[in-house]
Structure formats: structure tokens, C-alpha cells
Chains A and B, each alone.
Chain A
Amino acid sequence: MSKPRVVIVGAGHAGGSAAAFLRQYGFDGPIYLVGEEPLLPYQRPPLSKAWLKGEADADSLALKPAAWYAEAEVALRLGGVASEINRGAKTVTLASGEAIPYDFLILATGARARMLPIPGADLANVLALRTAADAEHLKSVLGAGKRLAIIGGGYVGLEAAASARALGAEAVVIERENRVLARVACPELSHFFQRYHGERGVTFELHAGVEAFVGEDGKVTGVKLADGRTVPCDAVLVGVGAHPNDELAKDCGLDCAGGVVVDLEARTSDPHIFAIGDVSHRPLPIYERQFRLESVPNALEQAKQAASAIAGRAGPTPEVPWFWSDQFDLKLQIAGLPFDADRIIVRGNPDTASFAVFHLKGDLIQAVEAVNAPPEFMAGKMLIARRTPVSLDKLADTTISMKEVAA
């Protein structure tokens, strides 16, 4: 009997890692890795930080050196677009016409930046930041004396603002809500980040609708706001969320719900097909619901789940979802998600730039947002996983160590 063959569609952090874990776990059948970008799998988080600031290069971003794929016998189809999955014949067809048979298929197609359907969206220098090519373009238009307008005060936007300032450029963040990080963080954290960025020269237009991008000679020169003002700029970064690339899955009839629905093995409604990373809509047992996570730890966890299932070994221990963000000299670490939280406890003082916000449901920790506070993050993550009540008084008291709180 011939060895089973795995085809991975999507060569990002999730897809690239799945290939590596399959080999680590002893899978010795053929592996095909199909990626739309012309590049080997690379890390995306540095694109808005170290890479933009010139502190990282393509080599340091690559998950594995080119030689690894040859040695590990991972067949690459870079610059390859998967156009159709035939579940009956078990083949993936590429735009080039090549049909690759599979025994197991892993969808790791990720998510794409949501763009704004407004006039001027197609002007030059109106950018998103998802890919190395995007980052290259953004870097080429940033520098001393330039002005970057950022639409959306989320993590990518704030990271880019901090990097722009480090490069001597001006940065203005334009946000529809009345605070930054409105969709993802509590008001305490929003206010802290806005103040910290403000003190370092980032300006904000909050509660501001964007009507159009205006330009000259095909290049963006400003952002027209709903109140009639125009914010001048040399480039625009649109960071208003992402949309899962689940069209291939939908077209072949897999269950989708704002992402491809999978189980704790990352298996879709077809037992021969897995979906991992940003494109998947996955169970979160701790919170008793399904959710789509956009994070590297999630991509890695699901890559391990799928690779384990295919290689026939036990899956990894379920993890608490977690995220991180670096801005200026701040290290933000988030564990868990604040589902159903009914109170928050702030441990420490935001004025000291080292504090944590705990989100609780009764006396169970649902999530923690820790700024320059690794013990709070690490202990918080452990306590979220453990699902045991904590003493709220101890948690609020910084004279009591997190070790003791977690004891």
C-alpha cells in the first residue's frame, strides 16, 4: 500500500508549521505545500515591528531555510493558487491546471485584510499590512518627514504607529469608535495605550468616520473625514480587521460559519480535510463555544492538532488562547478571551506602565491583559486553564505575589 499523501493549501505560519510538525512526528508520506505568495513560509508578527524598523530581514523572518524543504521532501508549489477541491476524487486543482491528489488535505488559507469600499480606495499608497509585500511597500513610503494615516486603532494599527514614530515619521490614527482597541480591549487598556502613544507623538482622530481617500496623480494625499475635514498624509494603512479565506471550503460544501468549522483535532465536516489557523472556526472548550482566532499560537496549536491526527499520535494539550503585541517599549501579553465577564480587576497602576487587567466571571478568571507584567500573564494563563476560583482581594493586592495568588 502506498503511503498517504498530505496536501497543505496555504503556506503561512499555520501551513508551514503543519508541514514541519508532520515530519517531526514521523509522517513519511509525500507532503505538498501550496502557497499563493512567491515566498517560503515566514513569520508575520515582525512585519509591523522589527521588520518595518529595519531590525529583521527576509532570512530571519523565514520559518525554515530553503534547504530544509528539500531535505524534508516537502514539495513546494509557491505562487500556486488552489482553485478547486474535488472531495469525491480527493484532488486539489491549482490555477495552473495541476491536480494534486490527497489522502489528507489541510486548509491553511488564512484571512485577508478587510478594505474600505470608499472612493479613493484604489489610490497608490493606500495599503494593508498582511504580507511581506505589503510591509515592503509600507516601508518604502515611511521615513522622516512623512506622515502615515492609519485607519483603525487596533493592534496592527498601533504597532505600525509606534514603528512609524521610531522611523521619524508622523502617525495619525483614525478610529470610528471613541477609543482605540474598542473591539478587543477594555477601556482601561484603551486609555493607557492612547495616552502612551500620544506622549510619543502619535495623534488621534477618534469617533471619526472616513468618507474618502483623496489624491493627486493617482497617489493618496489625504483622508476625508465625515465632519468635512481632510487629514493630509503620504500613505494610508487600513487596519480594520480581516476576513477568513474560506471560499474554497464553502465551494466544496464544507461546514462554514465565518470560517471553516472544525473540531479539536482541527478536522472539518469532511474527515479527510483539516482547517487550521486564521481560516478556521474552532471550539474553545474553556468558554463552551466556537470562535475564530487570529494568532500565531492558535496557528501552531492547530497545526499540531492536524499533524498529530494525521500522524496517528495523541494531540497536544489544549491551550488557553493567547496573544501578544509590542509597541514602543511596551510588552502587552493577553491570555484568554473576556467572554461573559461581569467584572474587571486592575492589578497595579497604569501610570507606572506595568499593570494588568483581569476579566472575571464571578470569581473565575476569563482573561488577563498584562502590560509589562509577565508574572500576571503567566499566572493568569495558568489560572484560566485551571478553572478554579481566585481570591479577588488577593488578585487586586500587588503586595501579594502572583505565585501566592495562584497557589
Chain B
Amino acid sequence: MAKITYIEHDGTEHVVDVKPGLTVMEGAVKNNIPGIDADCGGACACATCHVYVKEEWRDKTGTASAMEESMLDFAENVEANSRLSCQIKVTDELDGLVVSMPENQH
């Protein structure tokens, strides 16, 4: 299990255990964490699971694919550390990961 901290836009923190193999998005949805909508269920088709990856974790979460990049290009409030959480696979390496959510998902 990897412990992942999800921080809502208003600062509310949720710490949950996520099974390796799931994505960071699935970890949020299965625990009913507000702020990650994940309309497409992980098909990289909608950009409604946008998160910001805490600086110190950016190496371990890897980089966005070209498809993910171009989805993020048009999402709102995108920053350098923006990712689609459906594209981050949880591994034991990500135990302790911290991500935060934008105000809205569209």
C-alpha cells in the first residue's frame, strides 16, 4: 500500500492507502475524495482528474505523455507541476506522495 495525501483546493487533507497498480485518480475516486471528477474513468479523454504534484515528488511520478500534455494544454489553471492523475500509476515508490487539486475540474 502507498499512503497518498490529496489536498483539496480549500486546504482539506485526505490521507488514504492506495493499492499499487491503481492510478492516483482511482485512489481518489474509490475513496470518494472531492475535487477529482474523473469523468472518463481513466481513458485520458477528459482532463477532469487534474492534480498538482508536490515538487519533491515530480521525479518519481515521471513526465506526461504527448497525449496528456495536449489535454493539459487546454485545462484550466495549469502549472508546471500539473498532471492528469489517471496517468500516474501508484507504485511502492510513491508511498508518501502528496498531490493537490485545482478549484474546478472541466
A binding-site residues for B, Cβ under 8 Å: 20, 23-24, 43, 45-46, 60, 62-65, 68, 72, 296-297, 300, 317, 319, 322, 324, 326, 331, 333, 374-375, 378-379, 382, 402-403, 406
Contact = CB atoms under 8 A, between A and B. Distances in A.
B45 interface: yes
A101 B57 CA distance: 49
Contacts of B47: 378
22 contacts: A24-B34, A45-B43, A46-B41, A68-B31, A72-B32, A296-B39, A296-B41, A297-B39, A317-B106, A319-B106, A322-B46, A324-B40, A324-B45, A331-B43, A331-B44, A331-B67, A374-B70, A378-B70, A378-B74, A378-B75, A379-B74, A403-B74
A297 B30 contact: no
Contacts of B30: 62, 64-65, 68
Contacts of A43: 41
A378 B75 CA distance: 8
Most A CB within 10 A of own CB, among B37, B45, B71, B104: B45
Nearest to B35: A24
A65 B22 CA distance: 13
B16 to A, nearest CB: 11
B26 A60 contact: yes
A300 B67 contact: no
A374 B67 contact: yes
Given A45-B40, A60-B22, A319-B106, 14 more contacts: A24-B32, A45-B41, A62-B30, A296-B40, A296-B41, A297-B46, A324-B43, A324-B45, A331-B67, A374-B71, A375-B74, A378-B71, A378-B73, A378-B75
Nearest to A61: B41
Contacts of A378: 47, 70-71, 73-75
A19 B34 CA distance: 13
B2 interface: no
B31 A375 contact: no
Interface in B41-55: 41, 43-47
Interface string B67-89: 10011011100000000000000
Contacts of B43: 45, 324, 326, 331
A382 B74 contact: yes
A402 B71 CA distance: 12
B15 interface: no
A324 B67 CA distance: 15
Contacts of B39: 296-297, 300
Given A60-B26, A374-B70, A375-B73, A20 B32 contact: yes
Given A20-B32, A68-B31, A296-B39, A403 B73 contact: yes
A333 B45 contact: yes
Contacts of B106: 317, 319
A81 to B, nearest CB: 27
Contacts of A64: 29-30, 32
A46 B43 CA distance: 9
Closest 7 CB pairs of A and B: A378-B74, A324-B45, A374-B70, A24-B34, A297-B39, A374-B71, A43-B41
Contacts of B41: 43, 45-46, 296
A64 B47 CA distance: 21
Interface in B5-48: 22, 26, 29-32, 34, 37, 39-41, 43-47
Nearest to A323: B45
B50 to A, nearest CB: 12
Contacts of B37: 300
A374 B31 CA distance: 29
A70 to B, nearest CB: 13
Contacts of B31: 68
Given A64-B30, A317-B106, A374-B67, A324 B73 contact: no
A283 to B, nearest CB: 20
Given A24-B32, A64-B32, A375 B70 contact: yes
B54 to A, nearest CB: 23
